[in-house]
Amino acid sequence: MSRIIGIDLGTTNSCVAVMEGAVPKVIPNREGTHTTPSIVGFTEKGERLVGQIAKRQSLTNPRNTVFSVKRLIGRKFESSEVQHATKLLPYEIVAAENGDVRVRILERDYSPQEISGMILGRLKQMAEEYLGATVSEAVITVPAYFDDSQRQATKDAGRIAGLKVLRIINEPTAAALAYRLEESAHKKVAVYDLGGGT
């Protein structure tokens, strides 16, 4: 039976987890940490770097290092959010022919879904190494404010990574669900999502 992984695809960092019995287990990356930077870098030779290794080289290679791509996913180039991002991010953001967003790296254009797919692919690989088995299905969290276009774009990123996305869950909802795993008493709980991008 194939294992289903849970992924928090964050603006700043991402993580992947799996249920071990009734307990969720966050899978560590190769560096031994539980979060992986949501960063993709490209060397001048065209080599793709994902995670901590991409972050390490970002200061010397800012134009070819993509971070905060979650701010662009599922948006049109002319949107105020994307126009604001073009002023802050060091890499080149351009419009596709249909008005969507593209990130231009080494004279090649990538969609935010492709970049996110690279991050998701790395998380999938981590899970497969940990489990010793192929992983093909996932649940991915997104911000509660994501619209249908952004949610669909996140699913598309999962597909690019080789994952069937079974469900997209709001990040605060996921936190509330996780709390209920351990509690059986009826009580009111406040959930606050403090992400790296907020």
161: left (phi over 0), alpha (psi -120 to 50) or beta: alpha
Query: For domain 1-64+116-198, which architecture applies?
Result: 2-Layer Sandwich (3.30)
Is 193 known to be catalytic? yes
Task: Please state the rounded mean pLDDT for residues 55-81.
Answer: 97
Contact 9, 138 (CB under 8 A): no
pLDDT band at 198 (very low <50, low <70, confident <90, very high): low
The pTM of this model reads: 0.92
Could you tell me how far CA 138 lies from the centroid of its own chain? Answer: 12
* Strand extents, DSSP E, 53-163: 65-67, 92-95, 101-105, 108-110, 135-142
Domain ranges of the chain: 1-64+116-198
> Can you give the pLDDT at residue 187?
72
> Is 45 among the residues known to form the active site?
no
Position 49 scores a pLDDT of 98
- Pick the catalytic residue from 92, 109, 137, 193: 193
User: Does residue 41 carry a pLDDT above 80?
Assistant: yes
Mean pLDDT of the chain: 92
What would the pLDDT profile of 147-193 be if each residue is shown by its tens digit? 999 999 999 999 999 999 999 999 888 877 776 656 666 777 677 76
Average pLDDT over residues 71-80: 98
Q: Give yes or no for a contact between 92 and 63, defined as CB atoms under 8 angstroms apart.
A: yes
Task: Kindly report, residue by residue over 10-40, the tens digit of the pLDDT.
Answer: 999 999 999 998 888 999 999 999 999 999 9
Instruction: Give the pLDDT confidence score for residue 123 in this predicted structure.
Output: 98
Quick check: is 148 catalytic?
Answer: no
Is residue 92 annotated as part of the catalytic site, yes or no? no
* Catalytic residue (choose from 55, 70, 124, 155): 70
Contact 39, 51 (CB under 8 A): yes
- Point out the catalytic residue in the list 8, 100, 114, 156: 8
Specify the DSSP class assigned to residue 59.
T
Backbone angles phi, psi at 57, to 5 degrees: -95, 0
* C-alpha separations of 30 from 112, 117, 172 in Å: 25, 19, 28
